[in-house]
Chains A and B, each alone.
Chain A
Amino acid sequence: MTEFTPLMSLTGGMLIGLAAVLLMAFNGRIAGMTGILTGLLPPIATDWPWRAAFIGGAILGPVLLGSVGQIGFAVSVPTPWLVVGGLVVGIGAYLGSGCTSGHGVCGMARLSPRSIAATGVFMTTAVVTVFIVRHVAGLV
Chain B
Amino acid sequence: MYRTISAGLIGLLFGIGIALSGMANPAKVMNFFDLAGTWDPSLAFVMGGALLVTALGYRIVLKRSKPLADSRFHVPSNRRLDAPLLIGAAIFGIGWGISGFCPGGAIPALGLGEPTAWIFVGAMLSGIALARAVRQVLDTRIAQTN
Contacts and interface: CB of A to CB of B under 8 A. Distances in A.
A25 B67 contact: yes
B46 A12 contact: yes
B89 A89 contact: no
Interface string B40-57: 111101111111111101
B22 A90 contact: no
B143 interface: no
Interface in B116-138: 116, 119-132, 135
A1 B85 contact: no
Interface in B54-74: 54-55, 57-58, 61-62, 64, 66-70, 72-74
B89 A65 contact: no
Given A5-B42, A12-B22, A62-B19, A51 B53 contact: no
Contact of A14 (B17, B38, B73): B17
B109 A73 contact: yes
Given A11-B20, A89-B96, A66 B112 contact: yes
Contacts of A30: 74-76
Contacts of A85: 95-96, 98-101, 120, 123
A34 B103 contact: yes
A48 to B, nearest CB: 10
A32 to B, nearest CB: 8
Interface string B1-36: 001111111111111111111111111101101111
Given A8-B21, A14-B52, 13 more contacts: A2-B40, A20-B14, A20-B57, A33-B102, A34-B103, A54-B10, A62-B16, A85-B98, A88-B92, A99-B104, A100-B102, A110-B75, A118-B89
